[in-house]
Amino acid sequence: MVDLKGQYEKIKTEVDAGIQEVINTTAFINGAAVKEFQADLEKYLNVKHVIPCANGTDALQIAMMALGLQRGDEVITASFTYVATAEVIGLLGLTPVLVDVNPDTFDIDCDAIERNITAKTKAIVPVHLFGQCANMERIMAIAKKHNLFVIEDVAQAIGADYTFSDGKKAKAGTIGHIGCTSFFPSKNLGCYGDGGAMYTNDDELAKKMKMISHHGQSVQYVHDVLGCNSRLDTIQAAVLKVKLKHLDEYAAARQKAAAFYDTAFANNPKLKTPVRIKNSTHVFHQYTLQLNGVDRTKLREQLAERGIPAMIYYPIPLHEQKAFRSERNKKGDFPVTEKLCANVLSLPMHTELDEETLGYICKNVLELVN
Ligand SMILES: *Cc1c(COP(=O)(O)O)cnc(C)c1O
């Protein structure tokens, strides 16, 4: 599904030098590269504060802790997402309120958000699934009207641009109160292990998140709040510093591959290609088809026999997972999510796909579904 080796080969000299430098200085924790990468990312995103941490799941948890959410508070998020988003809500004793997504674009359904707001609702967590932004303009308006926080889960959409109706642009994750991202190796900006970050334009929230990720510590050995230990390793920061310089080029390569797939599958009634969200660019963390009248299991097996991986993101809806089953989350409650989980198929998507490989994939997919 990804070709991290091919990507590494092209930046090997710089990455190796960066890693070696960390080893030479033995500044494994909070070394210079962490601050440098943080500053580079702030500049790239045009955001006041980036707070690096250990992974994307921690980023979401620290964000919710910093907002002072209390046990029993309700947090609205999408039912069609990776488990981490809803998991941290539950772990903190908050109530995850799942809402369905839009059938064509996979983003959270804003009408459903509004229908699910109660006196206990404190935050909305839109997920910029597969690489394009949810309807942030409407989500921010809803949040303002009901006095709610917005935490953007931007783990799959780092670098995507959102354009407001007045023409103003912002990077994904810098629109809500806090943005949370992941540097997991296969993400669009991936390191060589685990990593993550929070973004915010709010000085106070930045201070709190920094404190929480360092054991609730403001001054060494002075602990003002309960926190955790969540840091980005210096070695990972050194890798990310190099890769950030290539992020736009990586997005362009993904978009080019997506365009190739789009053209090959256009007008095939059995394959619905991904629909773009009007106000967002798409950085294609995944290229996800919706199958129509195709035996998905068989297709995956046949593709695998021809050396083509294809994955299902995500096979089981959150509300049907044992960990999330409850009175309010029952089978049948989220028809769009249920249909997507049954029909989606993601094709190989990465920065190293050449036309020959893409051609081979498309030819075989078309042959097998027709
Ligand atoms: C990857 C991912 C996360 C979690 O990131 P980790 O770094 O793996 O903890 C959260 N949300 C979404 C949507 C993701 O894709």
Kindly write down the DSSP assignment for every residue of 43-93, as one continuous string: HHHT-SEEEEES-HHHHHHHHHHHTT--TT-EEEEESSS-HHHHHHHHHTT
Element housing 33 (H / E)? helix 32-45
DSSP per-residue string spanning 127-185: B-GGGB---HHHHHHHHHHHT-EEEEE-TT-TT-EEE-TTS-EEETTSSSSEEEEE--T
Beta bridge partners of 199: 50, 179
Tens digit of pLDDT for each residue in 24-56? 999 999 999 999 999 999 999 999 999 999 999
Closest atom, ligand 1, to C-alpha of 58: 9
Which CATH class for the 4-244 domain?
Answer: alpha beta
Q: Please identify which residue in the block is written with the tokens 């997507």.
A: 340
Mean pLDDT to the nearest integer, 148-168 = 98
Closest atom, ligand 1, to C-alpha of 84: 10
pLDDT at 326: 80
Choice from 57, 101, 151, 183 to test ligand 1 binding pocket (greatest atom count within 8 A of CB): 57
User: What is the average pLDDT score of the chain?
Assistant: 96
Ligand 1 centroid, distance to 196 Cα (angstroms) = 9
Ligand 1 centroid, distance to 167 Cα (angstroms) = 30
Fold adopted by 247-369: Aspartate Aminotransferase, domain 1 (3.90.1150)
As to burial, measured by CB atoms within 10 angstroms (0-12 exposed, 13-18 middle, 19+ buried), residue 312 is middle
Tokens of 370: 């027709």
Categorize the per-residue pLDDT at 328 as very low, low, confident or very high, splitting at 50, 70 and 90: confident
pTM for the whole structure: 0.97
pLDDT at 329: 78
**What is the distance between the alpha carbons of residues 26 and 152, in angstroms, rounded to a whole number?**
35
Ligand 1 centroid, distance to 155 Cα (angstroms) = 5
Tens digit of pLDDT for each residue in 93-123? 999 999 999 999 999 999 999 999 999 999 9
| For the chain, domain boundaries | 4-244, 247-369
Query: Is the predicted pLDDT of residue 66 greater than 90, yes or no?
Result: yes
Q: Which residue has the CA at smallest separation from atom 14 of ligand 1?
A: 155
Ligand 1 centroid, distance to 237 Cα (angstroms) = 18
Q: Which residue has the CA at smallest separation from atom 5 of ligand 1?
A: 56
Ligand 1 centroid, distance to 82 Cα (angstroms) = 7
Closest atom, ligand 1, to C-alpha of 194: 7
Categorize the per-residue pLDDT at 217 as very low, low, confident or very high, splitting at 50, 70 and 90: very high
Ligand 1 binding pocket (C-beta < 6 A) is: 55-57, 81-82, 84-85, 127, 153, 155-156, 182, 184, 194, 196
